Amino acid sequence: MTHDAPRLLACGDTAFTIEFGARIDPALSARVLALDAALAARALPGIRETVPTYRSLTVHLDPLTADPEALGRAVLSLAQEPLPPVAASRLWRIPVVYGGTFGIDLEAVAAHHGLAPQAVIERHAAPEYRVAMIGFLPGYAYLEGLDPRLALSRRPHPRPVTPAGTISIGGAQALVASIAAPSGWHLLGRTPVRTFVPDRDPVFLLRPGDRVRFVPTPAEDWERLSAAAEAGETVAEWSEA
């Protein structure tokens, strides 16, 4: 199998990015996570934080203790090695209330694909997703694994506000939204799970590499689960690999 050659991209004097490609691809994501894990294991001096995305890893550093160019070359060299893949991580089972006021685009998505709404729910809940990255807003979890038969271009006119916990799709991506925010994605449902709580440890419930399964949940369970989440319960069930 051939791989894209990684590139070193400068980001000022406090960060650089190692880019593995220019597309969303599980193979690229796996290489990003493998490099992230390798850097964590080596604990190179001067690295403050690493931020994985679908296709690249940004490394934030302390310019007072690290030479950005030298460290960048060292990380690029490491990225070119045959790094061991990261083992499967935690599996989260996240309850989702689909449709109605919880997922206002479900019927439109179903109509676009010539499906019944229940068929969309079944296709959306069937895969085991993998968290590729956390980004855009705090705690937003971008997932790989959407059934390609559900892929759909984003809305032509984004909504100014969508609720926290929204479960949505855009293009070939799936998302678990952490906070209320504007969005041009298609809203299929909503989860009561709080994936971002600033005063909780950990602040972010999901992390890159985690696996996710969505569990269709009756609307009448929303108030009970939401109250439990508000009281600090995880609500989502999880297990180790």
pTM over 0.85: yes
- Mean pLDDT value across residues 203-219: 96
- Mean pLDDT value across residues 155-181: 96
C-alpha dihedral sign at 159, 165, 167, 171: positive
Q: What is the pLDDT of residues 143-165, one digit of tens each?
A: 999 999 999 999 999 999 999 99
* Identity at 130, one-letter amino acid code: R
pLDDT at 188 over 90: yes
Q: What is the pLDDT of residues 190-204, one digit of tens each?
A: 999 999 999 999 999
* Identity at 176, one-letter amino acid code: V
